[in-house]
Structure 1
Amino acid sequence: MKIGIIGGTDGLGKTLVYYFRDEFDVSISARDHEKGYKVAEELNVNYIESNKQLAAISNILIISVPIHHTQSVIREVAPFMKKGSVMIDVTSVKEEPLKTMEECLPDNVEYIPTHPVFGPRTTELDNQVIVLTAPKKGKWYKKVYDYLSGKNMRIIETTAQHHDYMMSVVQVLTHFSFISTASAMEKLKVDITETEDYESPIYNLMIDMIARIVSQTPYLTYYIQSMNNNGSKIRNAFTDAVIELRDAIEAEDDEKFVELAIEATKNMGDIQNALGRSDKAINALNHEFNLLTESIGHEIALEHIYSGKVHIGVLEKVDGKYAVLDNGTRLRIANIKVLNEEELYQWKLDNIKQKHESISCLFPDTVTPNIIVETIENMADITEVILTDIYKGPQISEGYESLTFDVKGLSKEAINNVKKVLTGFGGVIR
């Protein structure tokens, strides 16, 4: 199965390469050929300089370019699509790309306008939302649906028109309100760092969400606003709501303000469910911070949630928003996951070269070897213990026997601790 991704060097297109490269023959194209070859080599996929050539060889062609270029790219490659292939786009608006596909693609090419409702920073497909807006369901549709379902994704099937209206609320309204808030803070010359000294958990979450939106490529955010056919209506409704609330407060009309607030609350749906989700988010933040402070002075493993790199060391201190290890590593708490004991142990098994030593020890012949083996197996950082020999010979005093253990561990210290335990049992290392 050959999958082509136009725009596979950045953003969601590059993320899709990670998801597909182990299962399919993936090729990418891009405007910047030098960067394209570099990314292709880095990701171990093919690079094709021509979008038209990529279309001609692909069973599945994915269009993952900026929203305002999507229609022109569809028109560019449509005549070169392989017979019996399928075109998929992954933009945030669906009405206009669908119209272009309907106009330009030949009858023997299927098309599935698609919107993965997650960003390029997403590391798992599991439980992520994806919207399919195909007006016709051909042979490819079931294959695509079954593949996404097999990844445990939440699939929504709807029309392009309904999708764009829903996204005008989910993206246009929320992005517009968040950016407006960030812009107001800038105009007020608010020092965000200083406000954090007074922050509540809800404020903290809100600032993080605003920062997540405004950190996106501004052009992407702009085109999400400008290319959704419902955008103007949505922004006007937001502006009207802001003015109505402002006027009620400045007129000291508490009854009007309360009326507006109650009506807005009623429309929010299941408030208790929303409170539960936000409580979980707040508790998760507090739990991670508490776990870190309790781990000061102990070995800890911190996994960077974006790079996947695991940093291990003794936690020296929690300095504001950073965790500092004794080896000098300083990591932003918001970007790390604290591995539990089992995860740390598994990481060590997978990444640390094990130490191996054969240890012989004299014991009274009344000892029970199995008890010694079981004790050693339960020691920290010991991965394997095998009793390889029980010996009684001329050089062994009467009433004694030599037990030999084949021991594997994650460090020399762990092996030395085994020797201490053996002598603690009354043994004498030979």
Structure 2
Amino acid sequence: MKIGIIGGTDGLGKTLVYYFRDEFDVTITARDHKKGQKVADELNVNYIESNKELASSSDMLIISVPINNTPSVIREVAPFMRKDSVMIDVTSVKEEPLKTMEENLPDNVEYIPTHPVFGPRTTELDNQVIVLTAPKKGKWYKKVYDYLASKNMRIIETTAEHHDYMMSIVQVLTHFSFISTASAMEKLKVDINETEDYESPIYNLMIDMIARIVSQNPYLTYYIQTMNNNGPKIRKAFSEAADELREAIDNKDDEKFVEIAINATKNMGDIQNALGMSDKAISALSHEYSLLNESIGKEIALKHIYSGKVHIGVLEKVDSKTAVLDNGTKLRIANVEILSDEELHQWKLDNSKWKKQSISCVFSENVTPNIIVETLEKVEDVINVVLTDIYDGPQIDEGFKSLTFEVTALSKESINNVKNILTGFGGVIR
């Protein structure tokens, strides 16, 4: 199947390329043709300069451009869509794209206004939410649905109107309140780094969430606010709620404050679940820092959660944000996961060049070879030990025998540890 992605060099469009390139024939376009060709070469997909040509050659055309540009791009390419093809947009507002598709696409082209409710930093589709708002379900709809289900995604089917109302709460309200909080901190000249000396785990999580939102493309967050038809009503409700709460505090009206707090709490739904989820997040952070502190001076493997690269070394020090390895590597703790001892060993098996050496050692003739082999196999980073020869010829003193072991290990150090154990058993290396 030929998939075309208009806007495949940045953001969610580029993320979709990663997901699709191994299964489909992917072609992208971009406003900056030089950048577009460079990204296409890096991702091993096709590049074409014309949106119209891409529309005419694609079985599925995905429009992944800024929200404010989506309607104009739909109108641009609609007349050139291939017969029996499908158009999908992936913006976070659905009413306007749906209306534009209905008005401009020919009858022989299906359309599925879609909202992947995750950002470009998402590394797995598993359990991610995606919303489909198609008013009519043609032959493409089932194909798309089944594909998303095969990736274990959480699929929501609804109308464009209901989607936009829900997103006015999920995005418009939360973004507005988070950016307002960050803006208030800026106006108060708050030093965020200094507040970390006094922070609770909950404050830490909250600041990270706020930072995640405000660090997004500000034009994206602006258009999420302005292009959702429910935006004015939502922002007005937020302002009125803030004013009501402020007045209750300024007027020292404890009863009014308590009333507001209790009513708000009742409306939050399953409080116990919320407490459990936040406790899990706090516990995970605390456990991770404990593991890191316990690992100082030891070999550790840290996997970057976005690039997937594994960094291995002796952990020298840890502060509130950074882990430093003995090879000079500095990693932000928020961006890595700690591999278990088993995962580290497996990584070494898969990625290291194995060492192999035959070691001959003279023992008393009463020694039991199998016990020695079993012991050597337990040495750290030893992969395999095979007893290849038992010799008691004229070169060996009476009452003794020579055992030869073929040792396969991950490092020279492990081979040396094997030798130390052999001599510890009373053997003499030949």
Q: TM-score band (shorter)?
A: over 0.9
User: How far 1:361 moved relative to its partner?
Assistant: 2.4
Distance apart, 1:89 and its partner CA: 0.9
Match of 2:242 in 1: 242
State the shift of 1:308 in Å: 1.9
* 1:367 match: 367
Greater shift, 287-296 or 214-223, is seen at 287-296
Equivalent residues in 2 for 1:64-75, closer than 5 Å: 64-75=64-75
Shift of residue 340, structure 1, vs aligned partner: 1.1
CA distance in 2 between counterparts of 1:417 and 1:389 reads: 21
Whether 1:380 aligns to 2:386 is no
Give SS of 2:197's match: helix
CA distance in 1, matches of 2:188, 2:76: 47
Letter in 1 for 2:354: Q
Displacement, 1:425?
Answer: 2.3
Determine if the alignment matches structure 1 residue 271 to structure 2 residue 292.
no
SS at match of 1:156: strand
Alignment-mate amino acid for residue 81 of structure 1: M
String of CA shifts for 1:377-426, please: whole Å, max 9, x gaps. 21101112222333444434444433322221111001111111122223
CA distances 1:150-175 after superposition (whole Å, capped 9, x unpaired): 11111111111111000000000000
Superposition pairs of residues 302-381 of structure 1, within 5 angstroms:
302-381=302-381
Which amino acid counterpart does residue 217 of structure 2 have in structure 1? T
Partner of 1:30: 30
Match of 2:191 in 1: 191
Counterpart amino acid of residue 66 in structure 1? P
Residue 367 of structure 1 aligns with an amino acid whose one-letter code is V
Q: Write the deviation string for residues 302-343 of structure 1: whole angstroms up to 9, x where unpaired.
A: 122222222211111113321122222222222221111111
Match of 1:167 in 2: 167
Q: After superposing the two structures, state which structure 1 stretch, 177-186 or 353-362, moved more.
A: 353-362
Deviation track 1:257-288 (CA, whole Å, cap 9, x = no partner) reads 11111111110011111011011111111111
User: Shift in Å at residue 25 of structure 1?
Assistant: 1.5
In structure 2, C-alpha distance between the alignment counterparts of 1:213 and 1:410, rounded to whole Å: 44
In structure 2, the residue matched to 1:219 is: 219
Q: Secondary structure at the match of 1:197?
A: coil
The 2-side partners of 1:398 and 1:326 are apart by: 50
Letter in 2 for 1:25: D
Tell me which amino acid in the other structure corresponds to 2:232: S
- Structure 1 window deviating more from structure 2 (371-380 vs 32-41): it is 371-380
Using the TM superposition, give the Cα deviation of residue 110 of structure 1 relative to its aligned residue in structure 2, in angstroms: 1.4
TM (normalized to structure 2)?
0.97
Which position in structure 2 is the counterpart of 1:282?
282
Report the Cα offset of residue 249 of structure 1.
Answer: 1.1
Q: In the alignment, is residue 418 of structure 1 matched against residue 426 of structure 2? A: no
Q: Measure the CA separation in 1 of the matches of 2:219 and 2:252.
A: 40
- State the Cα distance separating 1:429 from its structure 2 match: 2.1
Cα distance in 1 for residues equivalent to 2:401 and 2:54: 73
RMSD over equivalenced CA pairs, Å: 1.4
Take 1:385 and 1:147, find their aligned partners in 2: how far apart are those partners?
47
In structure 2, distance between residues paired with 1:92 and 1:320: 35
Q: Does residue 111 in structure 1 map to residue 86 in structure 2? A: no
Give the Cα separation in 2 of the matches to 1:153 and 1:22: 18
Deviation (angstroms), 1:214:
0.3
The letter of the residue matching 1:258 is V
Separation in structure 2 between the aligned mates of residue 397 and residue 115 of structure 1, nearest angstrom:
80
Query: Helix, strand or coil: the match of 1:198?
Result: coil
Letter in 1 for 2:58: S
CA distance in 1, matches of 2:392, 2:15: 64
1:407 alignment partner in structure 2: 407
Aligned amino acid, residue 147 of structure 1: Y
Paired letter, 1:372: I
Unaligned runs of 5+ in 1: none
TM-score (norm 1): 0.97
- Structure 1 residues 83 and 394, CA gap change in structure 2 (3 angstroms): farther
Within-5 A mapping of 1:2-151: 2-151=2-151
Q: How many angstroms does 1:215 deviate by?
A: 0.2
Q: Distance in 2 between matches of 1:249 and 1:124?
A: 45
Q: Counterparts of 2:40 and 2:394 in 1: how far apart (Å)? A: 68
User: Structure 2, unaligned stretches of length 5 or more?
Assistant: none
CA distance in 1, matches of 2:159, 2:305: 35
